[in-house]
Chain A
Amino acid sequence: MALILRFRKLCFFEQAKCWSRDEKALDSPKNDRKTAAGDDSASPEEKKQRKKKEKSSREWRCIDSCCWMIGCLCTAWWLLLFVYHCLPGLQAPEPPGARLKRDGLAALHPVVLVPGIVTGGLELWEGRPCSHGLFRQRLWGGGSFTEIFKRPMCWLEHLSLDNETGLDPPGIRVRAVPGLVAADYFAPGYFVWAILIENLARIGYEEKNMYMAAYDWRLSFQNTEVRDKTLSRLKSKIELMYVTNGFKKVVVVPHSMGVIYFLHFMKWVEAPPPMGGGGGTGWCAKHLKSVMNIGPAFLGVPKAVSNMLSAESKDVAFIRAMAPGLLDSEMLGLQTLEHVMRVSRTWDSIISLFPKGGEAIWGNLDHCPEEDHRCDTATRAEGNSSDGGHGFRLPESTNYGRIVSFGKKASQLHSSELSTLSSPLSPFTAAAVAPSPTPTLGNKVWTEYDEVNRASILGASDNKAYTADTLLDLLRSIAPKMMKRAEAHFSHGIADNLDDPKYDHYKHWSNPLETKLPNAPEMEIYCLYGVGIPTERSYVYKLSSPRKHRSIPLRIDTSANGGRTGSCLKGGVYFVDGDESVPVLSAGFMCAKGWQGKTRFNPSGIATYVREYRHKMPANLLEGRGVESGGHVDIMGNFGLIEDVLRVAAGASGAELGGDRVFSEIRKMSKRISIEL
């Protein structure tokens, strides 16, 4: 240390000398020459003295003041930090794990955690020359995303998948980080699973009975098995934990997209090889105690649509990762959004999140299950509890069924007034096939929009409003390659006859409306999700100015607002109740109705429970992201939810937890949906 200090000091003296010389050079070059000449002849001692002289004559200069300022700030900062650390920690609420341990709960069933989209870490195993030095470093999650800033183009290139196959591009291998570290923290300090893991550990869980089923969340589900054998690994791990923990069945805790990934797994594991895992019927019944879905996106999220159309996904993790300013900055030469779009369009998994079930679930042009939703619920819930305030029903009901409408007007008109809706496809699919002007003018950023004639897009926007059914047609026409790739892996319809052999294909496995649950009458399925946060449900779009965003012709019309205080339309987005990402309908319908009792989707009558957690903002900043949050990711730190998971892991059944716990209008909404059960 002392050495370093001395070195610094020397550096400074040298510098000081230089500066003073420069100044002198201005007033008297002669003098300078003299000193320079003298320097050579003078003995070291004299030199030292002169140096000192020069130093002492120095003025209190700007640089010094700067240094002084910085020094002051640093010292003050350290002092504060020191004081902060010395103070006894602010009384944190007791974590549920500690309390339950005192109540005598202990680890019983092994726990499997299945992370969702974007929260899992990805690391580099093989890359292009530009990625030198990043071997086995995280490209996504965990670290600080510094590589985005250092070499953005390289980073994007490595995170993209092949546009044709949906697998690795040649020469690039990016793989999921294995183990609990894969998704405990998304970024430093931004927990995902860490709090749940910590609480589980308090009642005795460790790595031998807790497993993070990390997978490459960019791939389509079946491709994770094809490329990485991830499903086989998960199967082997569950079997191992079942055996080594005294034949105790496993409690699975999937989150977000992990929920449909695990649905896929349950079908895969019982299906015969080569397509399936060959576990045989009864595998789930033998190995699984319960599936506790957190923030489940069973029926998809409308957000995925906006992400695909215009890369304007407002997804929590995504936004926080890339920092709000970044998206609009000009880092990549005005084409940030285009780049993001190009990359994310190669990720098949996003298509698994498209709304499923079409108009039967999400509503048609005039009706939708959430019809009389009051958008001031959130404010009401946290403000005064008196209902009388401004709880009047809006005269015009919001047409949530129109997931994408062009122009605010189109979203509100009655369907009979909309143009050409009876046959929406014929005009513009024809136009789409028409040869498009090849994008040559310095357009480095390829999105499929370039290939699609702008005229056809105009045709598309002429069509005014799209429901969950017609939306897929829209996407097919504007991003044909992506949809073709993805539709080999995912399906978004409703099955008429579940015994049809075509439903044995893996593309139906992640759609709860096209699969039967496994034959496991003792299993339990939970839907645990937050409510009380306005959640994106449908969008008002406009055409973007062709000059600015040449590659993305569609933009959300952020100027479209409801105008009234209680309006559901804000910044071009219609909101409903949900957890900020997943609307209540998508998260709760299967548990509340589609699987309730013995239905054709649930032939063995697996018990289902809906557990809702009302969102409460953290009272002050010190609480961080809150212990009663209902946000899509923040709910993983919700003490109520953690307690439920712990109790089930320690052996409790759904009835012992208290059965259903509902705050939203999910039952009323479900009733409005009339599908054959």
Chain B
Amino acid sequence: MAAMRRRKGAGGRRPENSEPRLDESKEKHYIESEKSNSCSTNLNADVNSIVLSNSYPAAKKQRPKWGCADTCCWFVGCVCSMWWLLLFVYNAMPASFPQYVTEAITGPLPDPPGVKLAKDGLKAKHPVVFVPGIVTGGLELWEGHACAEGLFRKRLWGGTFGEVYKRPLCWVEHMSLDNETGLDPPGIKIRPVSGLVAADYFAPGYFVWAVLIANLARIGYEDKNMYMAAYDWRLSFQNTEIRDQTLSRIKSNIELMVATSGGKKVVVVPHSMGVLYFLHFMKWVEAPPPMGGGGGPNWCADHIKAVMNIGGPFLGVPKAVSGLFSAEAKDIAIARAIAPGVLDMDVFGFQTMQHVMRMTRTWDSTMSMIPKGGETIWGGLDWSPEEGHVCSLKKRSSNGQPTGHNTTQKLDKSIHAKYGRIIAFGKDVGDFHSSDIERIDFRGAIKGSNLANTTCRDVWTEYHDMGIGGVKAVADYKVYTADSILDLLQFVAPKMMTRGGAHFSYGIADDLDDEKYNHYKYWSNPLETKLPNAPDMEIFSMYGVGIPTERAYVYKFSPAAECFIPFQIDTSADSGEDSHCLKGGVYLVNGDETVPVLSAGYMPAKAWRGKTRFNPSGIRTFIREYDHSPPATLLEGRGTQSGAHVDIMGNFALIEDIIRVAAGATGEEIGGDQVHSDIFKWSERIKLKL
């Protein structure tokens, strides 16, 4: 605005020669008022100009004064009419216009798989159930405090997130759960949105399930044979049943769909955390009431044809640890939702991270994704299954030539990353051999007196109860593996872990027939449950590969005062050499940006292959990997060949696989295993009794 006014003023200073004197003086006057630079403060001038302009016809001859208010009004008018014009043009534009443009630039697009397969004569056969993952499902308000007035049945999560900006503290308060029970705080009811709209789009234009739904609809699917098993992803799995009866609803809906489609079994498509949720469901439904659903031992065999897990974190994700430890989860959805800038902004008065942490720590579900299986799976201090992983894999595959392959591998052998150390304090510690590290056990450390002064009180995190002594003790232990991570979390967040410990377990069962494994807290851990007795069922694990994925972290003390979270990822830690395994304090492996290949692939590749103790009935498993290739142009949006954790839902090859299975194909018919990564090699390194 200011720039424009100045320009106009400049124009006024050079009147054309033919202009009458009168005008020049006017212009001068104009400049003066401009110079005073007071659109809003110089009220008198504004009033004058308005009066002048009102007497417009009379003043026509001597040209009305172009006052400041007029300029403003004129400008607003211009902008408005322009806006309306554009809006009108946009609305009058035929809906297929963007597609024409895209096709004109990039050439004809490939048919979406649904259209192609419909031409091949595929028809809807088996009903389909979607199980969305964490954070992608919408949540809406059913009862709230006074600050949430007018938001009844409006989305607090998903959609535009407008309320985050409008009333951030109110939003955080409503999204948090009770710290003791893990259920609703008193007076607040947030419930999952139901139906396909729950997770078709996460935010306007950011699809999650929408592309898959659209393609399934092409071969004849609709509401009656497609069901979104939306649940409140903040709760622990068993609590969704206790509070909302979500598991009962899913059971009833699956039964209904099987009955109304002539006895055709359902194809279940869980994504991300939904994979664990559905594991839990399969155990729950066959368990006797009151803990279970009372479906009987053949329920899964009678109702489920296939479970097509997309990006399944069967064994957890290391990201969950960093999320809980320092709220630095780089989770796609969270980051994109709250917009990258906001996290660093002053919305909450410098305490954004603490607020986010306090909120996420009340969400029990995040604890379902802590790495499971301990050192046996994730590696100890000196070994890990992914040892010798070539981190420059991306570059290599894009060049398409294996030159330099040998050299990188040599380098790797000398300094190969110790992925087993999920958290290390200091980069050096991350590299040393275990015998070189001095460690002081933190477990017995006495937590120092409460440091937190009252100013920090409003942002409560459990770190304040720990005191400086505890913080130091944590850092002195230096290195944490998947086993000791649990102790660490227990130490830094005892309340949360007690709550979570009642709902989740992270170990490996020695004897699966032990009575204790009938408790629901084991149901979502594939290493502590048997798959249901359903020999005809098929389990697919479909995930993207070829994207560096977080696997281990280098931490440091947070430099700031006691109001802050005392630990922080050491973003300065870089390996700096050809191998790009360490970047910004994070060790990376192959995966889909969120879930490492190991977590997504180990169970179907080895632990469930054939008849094992985890899979007593010999359910067939298939691994389908999709190599990531980024979209060629911006016009493609998020790409049709993406392998990223959420974007893979728009991957045409994956969609085609799902449609074929839904239309009746078996795992062999769609091509059996399809592997790009080293998952089989890595699985061999894991010594687990099967």
Residues of A that sit less than 8 Å from B by CB: 5-6, 8-9, 11-12, 49, 52-53, 55-57, 59-60, 64-75, 125-126, 132-136, 146, 150, 173, 175-176, 178-181, 184, 197-198, 201-202, 206-208, 228-229, 232-233, 236-237, 239-240, 243-244
Contacts and interface: CB of A to CB of B under 8 A. Distances in A.
Contacts of B248: 240, 243-244
B105 interface: no
Contact of B222 (A5, A73, A175, A208): A175
B95 A133 contact: yes
Interface in B4-40: 4, 7-8, 10-12, 14-16, 19, 27
A241 B66 CA distance: 69
B249 A52 contact: no
A362 B91 CA distance: 49
A652 B468 CA distance: 60
B223 A74 contact: no
Interface string B130-146: 00000000000011000
B77 interface: yes
Contact of A52 (B11, B72, B200): B11
A68 B142 CA distance: 45
Nearest to B96: A132
Contacts of A207: 191, 194, 244
B437 interface: no
A75 B19 contact: no
Given A72-B73, A179-B194, A179-B195, A67 B78 contact: yes
**Top-8 shortest CB links A-B:** A71-B77, A133-B95, A71-B73, A67-B77, A52-B11, A70-B77, A71-B76, A244-B245
A19 to B, nearest CB: 14
A180 B142 CA distance: 13
Interface stretch (B255-263, B478-486, B537-545, B554-562): B255-263
A132 B74 contact: no
A68 B260 contact: no
26 contacts: A53-B16, A55-B8, A57-B16, A66-B77, A67-B73, A67-B74, A67-B77, A68-B70, A68-B73, A69-B77, A71-B72, A71-B74, A71-B80, A75-B73, A135-B217, A136-B200, A175-B223, A180-B153, A181-B195, A198-B152, A201-B152, A206-B142, A207-B194, A207-B244, A236-B255, A237-B252
Contacts of A239: 252
Interface residues of B, number: 63
B63 interface: yes
B168 interface: no
Contacts of A125: 217, 222-223
A240 B250 CA distance: 10
Contact of B80 (A74, A135, A150, A178): A74
Given A52-B7, A133-B96, A175-B223, A236 B76 contact: no
Contact of B14 (A6, A56, A240): A56
Given A56-B15, A67-B74, A132 B80 contact: no
B81 interface: yes
Contacts of A184: 153
A60 B49 CA distance: 14
A639 B259 CA distance: 41
Contact of A201 (B78, B91, B142, B194): B142
Given A8-B78, A175-B223, A56 B217 contact: no
A409 B619 CA distance: 81
A132 B252 CA distance: 35
B339 interface: no
B224 interface: yes
A146 B88 CA distance: 12
Q: Interface majority SS on A: helix, strand, loop or mixed?
A: helix
Contact of A236 (B8, B16, B81, B252): B252
Given A53-B16, A173-B222, A178-B195, 15 more contacts: A8-B78, A49-B14, A56-B27, A60-B63, A67-B74, A67-B77, A68-B73, A71-B73, A72-B73, A73-B77, A179-B197, A208-B244, A208-B249, A232-B256, A232-B259
A70 B27 contact: no
A266 B253 CA distance: 21
A185 to B, nearest CB: 11
Contacts of A136: 196, 200, 213-214, 217
Interface string B58-75: 000001101000101111
A464 B259 CA distance: 53
A53 B75 contact: no
Given A55-B11, A126-B217, A198-B152, A67 B81 contact: yes
Contacts of B11: 52-53, 55-56
A181 B142 CA distance: 14
Interface string B572-615: 00000000000000000000000000000000000000000000
A57 B8 CA distance: 11
Contacts of A178: 195, 223
B189 interface: yes
Contacts of B223: 125, 175-176, 178, 228
Interface in B159-214: 189, 191, 194-197, 200, 213-214
Contact of A229 (B3, B73, B197, B224): B224
Nearest to A205: B142
A5 B66 CA distance: 20
B79 interface: yes
B632 interface: no
A178 B72 CA distance: 48
Contacts of B7: 52
B82 interface: yes
A336 B7 CA distance: 55
Nearest to A71: B77
Contacts of B78: 8, 12, 67, 71
B12 A56 contact: yes
Q: Which residue, of A175, A197, A240, has the highest number of chain B Cβ atoms within 10 A? A: A240
B398 to A, nearest CB: 33
B136 to A, nearest CB: 18
A145 to B, nearest CB: 13
Given A53-B11, A206-B142, A135 B214 contact: yes
Interface string B75-105: 1111111100000000110111000000000
B77 A72 contact: yes
B259 to A, nearest CB: 7
B634 interface: no
B51 interface: no
Nearest to A198: B152
A104 B46 CA distance: 59
Contact of A134 (B4, B72, B95, B259): B95
B79 A8 contact: yes
Contacts of A9: 4
Given A57-B16, A67-B77, A179-B194, A229 B260 contact: yes
Contacts of B255: 236
Given A150-B91, A208-B244, A236-B256, A8 B191 contact: no
Contacts of B196: 136
B1 interface: yes
Given A133-B96, A179-B194, A240-B248, A68 B77 contact: yes
A135 B200 CA distance: 13
A56 B16 contact: yes
Nearest to A214: B223
Contacts of B64: 60
